[in-house]
Amino acid sequence: MTETIALIKSLADRYGRTRDALMPILQGVVEEERYLSDVAMTEIARELDIAAAEVYGTATFYSFLDTVPRGKYVIRVCKTITCDMHGKKRVIEKIEDLLKIKLGETTQDKKFTLLTTNCLGWCHKGPVMLINNTPYPDLNEDKVTEIIMEYIRK
């Protein structure tokens, strides 16, 4: 908790304490802690001197600003039309099978979270997934197995 508070203070020092600093601060916290806890959101509100509801309202609007705990590696598989045409469903099933979780869930060891997202801009090389900040295009069942196994070993 003290770590979170210190993190928020340093982010506010860096981005300022005006309303337009809110997004960079929220993103900074997610980057470090993988999600925005209630403690983090109330602390940000205090730091910027705005209502906690305002922080919560902004945070919950954006799909990349998670308000529930996420794994160390967040896997986001593109679910839009061309990735679907080229076998996104089988890729997701393979990941579910490998990690023993369903879509939307986090593994027990808090290492992986499996989500879908809208277009990642790799429509010519679908299906594609994003693991934290790295895109992996041209997926099939074999390739996704290889990638996930590599992360499991990490």
Partner 1 sequence: MTKHKQIRIALRNCGVIDPQAIGEYIARDGYQALATCLTKMTPEEVIDQIKKSGLRGRGGGGFPTGLKFEITRKSVSDQKYVVCNADEGDPGAFMDRSILEGDPHSVIEAMAICGYCIGADKGLVYIRAEYPLAIERLKIALEQAREMGLLGKNIFNTGFSFDIELRYGAGAFVCGEETALIHSMEGLRGEPTFKPPFPSVSGYLGKPTNVNNVETFANIPVIINKGAGWFSAIGTEKSKGTKVFALAGKINNVGLIEVPMGTTLREVIYEIGGGIRNGKKFKAVQTGGPSGGCLTEKHLDTPIDYDNLIAAGSMMGSGGMIVMDEDNCMVAVAKFYLDFTVDESCGKCAPCRIGNKRLYELLDKITQGKATMEDISNLKNLCTVIRDASLCGLGQTSSNPVLSTLDNFYDEYIGHVVDHKCAAGQCKALMKYVVIDENCVGCTACARNCPVNAISGEKKQVHFIHQDICIKCGACYDRCKFNAIEIQ
The sign of the dihedral angle between the CA atoms of 59, 74, 35, 24 is: negative
| CA neighbours closer than 13 Å in the CB half-sphere of residue 44 | 30
Question: Residues 95 to 114: which contact partner 1 by CB under 8 A?
Answer: none
Pick the piece of the chain touching partner 1 (CB under 8 A) from 54-62, 94-102, 103-111, 143-151.
Answer: 54-62
Alpha helices in the chain (DSSP H): 2-15, 22-33, 38-48, 52-61, 81-85, 88-99, 141-153
User: Does the footprint of partner 1 cover residue 122 (CB under 8 A)?
Assistant: yes
Q: Binders of partner 1: how many residues, by CB under 8 A?
A: 35
User: Does the footprint of partner 1 cover residue 127 (CB under 8 A)?
Assistant: no
Binds partner 1 by CB under 8 A, chosen from 6, 51, 81, 152: 81
User: Does the footprint of partner 1 cover residue 23 (CB under 8 A)?
Assistant: yes
Q: Which residues contact 17 (CB under 8 A, 6 or more apart)?
A: 47, 48, 49
Binding-site ranges for partner 1 (CB under 8 A): 18-24, 26-27, 57-58, 61-65, 80-82, 84-85, 117-126, 130, 133-135
